Structure 1
Amino acid sequence: MELEEKRNGHCREEGFDGLEAMAEDDKFLPNKSGGKKEIAFTDFEGKTSFGMSIFNLSNAIMGSGILGLAFAMSNTGIILFIILLVFIAILSAYSIHLLLKSAGVVGIRAYEQLGYRAFGQPGKMLAACIITIHNIGAMSSYLFIVKSELPLVIQVFLDKHENTGEWFMNGNYLILIVSALIILPLALMKQLGYLGYTSGFSLSCMVFFLISVIYKKFNIACPLPDVHPNLTHIADNFAAMNETGDSCEAKLFTMNSQTVYTIPILAFAFVCHPEVLPIYTELRDANKKRMQRVANVSILAMFIMYLLTALFGYLTFYAGVESELLHTYSQVDTMDKLILCVRLAVLVAVTLTVPVVLFPIRRAVLQILFPEKPFHWGRHIGIAFCLISLVNVLVIFVPSIRDIFGLIGATSAPSLIFILPAIFYIRIVPIDQEPLKSRPKIQAACFAAVGFIFMVMSLSFIISDWATGESRSGGGH
């Protein structure tokens, strides 16, 4: 998502706060009071070029979800995965259309404020809570990558061919250390500042990751050679499949107990909707058609990148792929220098992105709990400490990154992609402009219903999978 929540996707913090306050007073909208037009939000002159806006939105889409796509393909087959990927990409573009149409009607370009205009304070609180939940899930997925990958990096630097169990190679201890020494100090900054520049580095890391995945496909033989039994239980499963001769066969269609995680993983990977409206605000010569083109090009670019990553990752490991693709390469050679470089780049990117993602969560918490209070260092520090502590607890006790992708992808992701844009559109667009029985509003209502059905079904299947204690393939640790 998916590395999401970048500075470029937020717009300027202080100016944005003032604009939000104007929205609640209905001063965003032009009126003819006294024959003089009020200053409207749509009068803001953006300075970001079309190309840079595509870069910013692509950054907002790109996230840790890319690491789970090969696992998703292994549990659906190539054809079914492509169908689902196209389906989610088209629906994401349509939901952005709904957001832009709603924003154009009321002159507001902030997700929470659309909720306020649609349903008042409850709507604003609902949007803020869902965005907060999604960002906590994103932070958890980033720290899970640290938990999974950092021990392997230390193992290579110590020239060890296996994890011998020392405390400094325990992922749980390492995320606590990284959180205390790096993430918390950066999260205590008053403004995002230079942290926003990590967005470009994050996207570069993922491009490097994709190139490495494609390269390794042609350098790893199938079936895999014998691997150390302590690496992961997935390696044992892979060895068992080798005996049946099925391990190196690509499946076009397949269904199993893990297939239920596919759509949540894809939805998690395409969430960028809280950033769409701020990027729209910064776009030069902004209008709905131009911003929709930005969204379409960005989604297409990420679609291609996601498809290539999933395809080449799957065709490297087939049914042996783990839910965190990068970790799967430890089955072949823990000491591989190229994969070490990829791991280091991804680790630095996700570590620096966690405090960036924390800023909007803290801002939402302040709006919910202390809406009228001025800035106070005690609250600023306390909220950051509590959020980081909560995320650490989640990462320590959640057994697989697949569970994070699945749970967040089945709850906040469909809310942000399907449900909220549709119900905001239905409420905000005037009835005299589009009656409730008009085709666009019926489509929006069906869109929201699809999102709700998807959420209920995905959660039901995932909870059922947890309850039955199915093989938790893809543990990634």
Structure 2
Amino acid sequence: MEASWRSTSAEPGWYISAQLPEEAASEELSPLLGNELRRQGSPGVSFGFSVFNLMNAIMGTGILGLAYVMANTGILGFSFLLLMVALLASYSVHLLLSMCIQTSVTCYEDLGLFAFGLPGKVVVASTIIIQNIGAMSSYLLIIKTELPAAISEFLTGDYSGSWYLDGQKLLIIICVGIVFPLALLPKIGFLGYTSSLSFFFMVFFALVIIIKKWSIPCPLTLNYAEEFFQISNATDDCKPKLFHFSKESAFALPTMAFSFLCHTSILPIYCELQSPSKKRMQSVTNTAIALSFLIYFVSALFGYLTFYDKVESELLQGYGKYLPHDAAVMTVKLCMLFAVLLTVPLIHFPARKALMMLLFSNSPFSWIRHSLVTLALNITIILLAIYVPDIRNVFGVVGATTSTCLIFVFPGLFYLKLSREDFLSWKKLGAFILLICGILVGNFSLALIIFDWVNK
């Protein structure tokens, strides 16, 4: 029995007619996507730019907290957990791509439609919207709070009251001048250049962390008015731990899982990939996850080996404390803020697409509608970043649930529902394990956040 569907995201390049095949398709993408790209006269986005875009979607502020995670799990414990999460993230992308082959659609929301009908599509689209609005608002909140402080470190004298030290004004100027124009672009592939810039900012961050390892002695000392105060006399504080467990270790797995969230951007990037195929997109994913893993691990390792048990939950705060007014540290702070800023337009694409599918599912693409929805989303995230003081706590709960669903639960659940393989096949067993891991991590993360609130 055949069912005819049409991807209706109201975004250019997303109109793909499809039929659910009786048998699983081949490992390569159905010709539908390649034909669609040729019909549009688009050569597609190169392999390298696709990797940059996906890395930009993966890497965000999570890199600043992984050294703290290593301090609470130990070097070997951290390495094992980070590798496991990276492999699970790659496998969940493999399941998503496999389902795209079987259903001939290239849209996360339409996978929900195939699996559970209209309710499935609404749940997936709503999850993407909530997750991405939360992430974008949180990133803008970081820009609002940290950018004035980073700029002030370059200034000598009293400049309080200046507009360029006002977080709200800077946020509005940046969103109007940078975020909105980039988010307005019709295709996600156009962001390849800004994503490559963001990638080099992350590499620069890792290099500075490595170099500054030898600029901060251990035991740690603080310099106040030209007098040095030793923080600790214990030489054991300067010995790395291979394994370590504490109450903070419970946050390790959720933090790592959220550090590899890129699944809302996988299918948009897949749609615009040059010579698109499942194998080629899986190579893009594996390359992006491997490079992200390497940068994450190196930054966490040298950050931990610099501060050991005294590492801050936000790594750069430690460098600001022990190396005040250091030119490299001040520069890397600005680079990290710009890297975060350049991630916002990339996250905006899947959020807008999901909103379009909910509100205008049967409408052709319109620049007026496209611009108005883009503007509405930007106004929403700006207002949240400016006027909601505890937005990190609010979206901490939302992120613990929506992120886990998008990484683990939905790919595993949809594959179990859509695949015609025997349940004891390796892929279905893997999907089942992924689903169980997602449920456990999601509930565990939510319980930890609530427990932390109660204690505070």
- State the partner residue of 1:391: 385
Distance 1:302 1:39 in 2: 31
Q: Go from structure 1 to structure 2 and tell me whether the alpha carbon gap of 1:39 and 1:74 turns closer, same or farther (over 3 Å shift).
A: closer
CA distance in 1, matches of 2:447, 2:317: 28
With 140-149 and 373-382 compared, the bigger mean Cα shift is at 373-382
Q: CA deviation at 1:281?
A: 3.0
Distance in 2 (alpha carbons) for counterparts of 1:29 and 1:74: 50
> What does the per-residue CA deviation read over 1:387-439, in whole Å, with 9 as the maximum and x for residues that have no partner?
32123344x325xx7x6896466322221111111111112223xxx134544
Cα deviations by residue, 1:37-74 (Å, 9 ceiling, x for unpaired): x9833534564444444333333322221111111111
The change in CA–CA distance for 1:111 and 1:84 in structure 2 (over 3 A counts) is same
Q: Secondary structure at the match of 2:106?
A: coil
Report sequence identity in percent.
39
Select 1:286's aligned residue among 271, 276, 285. Answer: 276
Question: 1:456-476 CA deviation, whole Å, 9 max, x = no partner?
Answer: 11211221122112xxxxxxx
Q: Which residue of 2 aligns with 1:463?
A: 450
Please tell me the residue identity of whatever aligns with 1:354: V
Report the counterpart of residue 259 of structure 1 in structure 2: 249
User: Secondary structure, in 3 states, of the residue corresponding to 2:299?
Assistant: helix
Secondary structure of the residue that 1:226 maps to in structure 2?
A: strand
Give the aligned partner of residue 446 of structure 1: 433
Q: For the structure 1 residues 460 and 14, does the alpha-carbon distance in structure 2 shift closer, same or farther, using more than 3 Å as the test?
A: closer
Matches within 5 A, 1:83-102: 83-102=80-99
**Is 1:180 equivalent to 2:172 in the alignment?**
yes
Deviation at 1:452, TM superposition (A): 0.3
The whole-number CA distance in structure 2 between the counterparts of 1:362 and 1:391 is 18
Q: Using the alignment, how far apart are the partners of 2:271 and 2:301 within structure 1?
A: 36
Output the CA distance in 1 between the equivalents of 2:112 and 2:417.
10
How far did 1:341 drift? 1.4
Please state how far the C-alpha of 1:385 moved relative to its aligned partner: 1.2
User: Is the CA contact 2:99–2:415 (under 8 Å) kept in the aligned structure 1?
Assistant: yes
Confirm or deny that 1:360 pairs with 2:350: yes
The 5 Å alignment of 1:364-379 reads 364-371=354-361, 375-376=368-369
Match of 2:69 among 69, 72, 91: 72
Per mean C-alpha deviation after superposition, the further-off stretch among 141-150 and 202-211 is 141-150
- For the residues of structure 1 that align with 2:394 and 2:68, how far apart are their CA atoms? 14
Matches of 1:282 and 1:200 in 2, distance apart?
17
**Equivalence map 1:127-146=2 (5 Å):** 127-146=124-143
The alpha-carbon deviation at position 184 of structure 1 amounts to 3.8
In 2, the alpha carbon distance for the partners of 1:367 and 1:106 equals 18
More deviation, 203-212/333-342: 333-342
**In structure 2, do the counterparts of structure 1 residues 412 and 206 end up closer, same or farther at CA, with 3 Å as the change threshold?**
same
From the superposition, tell whether residues 158 and 439 of structure 1 become closer, same or farther in structure 2 (CA, over 3 Å).
closer
Q: Which residue of 1 aligns with 2:218?
A: 222
Indicate the larger mover: 262-271 or 368-377: 368-377
SS at match of 2:323: coil
- Unpaired runs of at least 5, structure 2: 1-8, 24-29, 38-42
Residue 120 (structure 1) aligns with? 117
Asked if 1:191 corresponds to 2:184, the answer is: yes
Where do residues 157-176 of structure 1 align in structure 2 (5 Å cutoff)?
A: 157-159=154-156, 166=160, 173-174=166-167, 176=168
CA distance in 1, matches of 2:340, 2:195: 10
Which stretch has the larger CA shift, 149-158 or 324-333? 149-158
* CA apart distance, 1:243: 4.9
The answer to whether the aligner puts 1:350 opposite 2:340 as a matched pair is yes
Residue 435 in structure 1 maps to residue 422 in structure 2: yes
CA distance in 1, matches of 2:164, 2:219: 30
Q: 1:151 to 1:246 in 2, by over 3 A?
A: farther
Distance 1:261 1:285, change over 3 A: same
- Whole-angstrom CA distance in 1 between matches of 2:382 and 2:340: 14
TM-fit CA distance, 1:92: 1.0
Q: TM-score, normalised by structure 1?
A: 0.79
Separation in 1, partners of 2:399, 2:76: 21
Structure 2 counterpart of 1:125, which letter? V
Quote the Cα distance in structure 1 between the aligned partners of 2:454 and 2:199. Answer: 37
1:466-477 mapped onto 2 (5 Å cutoff): 466-469=453-456
What is the RMSD of the two structures over their aligned residues, measured on CA atoms?
3.3
Alignment counterpart, residue 313 of structure 1, candidates 284, 303, 313: 303
- The Cα of 1:94 is off from its aligned counterpart by 1.1
Pair 295,366 (structure 1): closer, same or farther in 2 beyond 3 Å: closer
The DSSP-based 3-state class of the residue aligned with 1:120 is helix
1:83-129 Cα deviation digits (max 9, x unpaired): 10011011111111111111110111121121121112222222222
> Aligned equivalents of 1:332 and 1:210: distance in 2?
18
1:265-301 Cα distance to aligned partner (Å, 9 max, x none): 1111111112222333333443323332332232222
> Among residues 403, 427, 435, which one is paired with 1:413 in the alignment?
403
Which of the residues 60, 63, 83 maps onto 1:63? 60
Give the structure-2-normalised TM-score. Answer: 0.82
Q: Does 1:339 align with 2:334?
A: no
Q: Shift in Å at residue 17 of structure 1?
A: 4.1
Aligned to 2:40: none
Distance in 1, matches of 2:317 and 2:75, equals 21
Which residue is equivalent to 1:205? Answer: 201
Looking at structure 2, the residues matched to 169 and 103 of structure 1 have their Cα atoms a distance apart, in angstroms, of: 49
What corresponds to 1:35 in structure 2? none
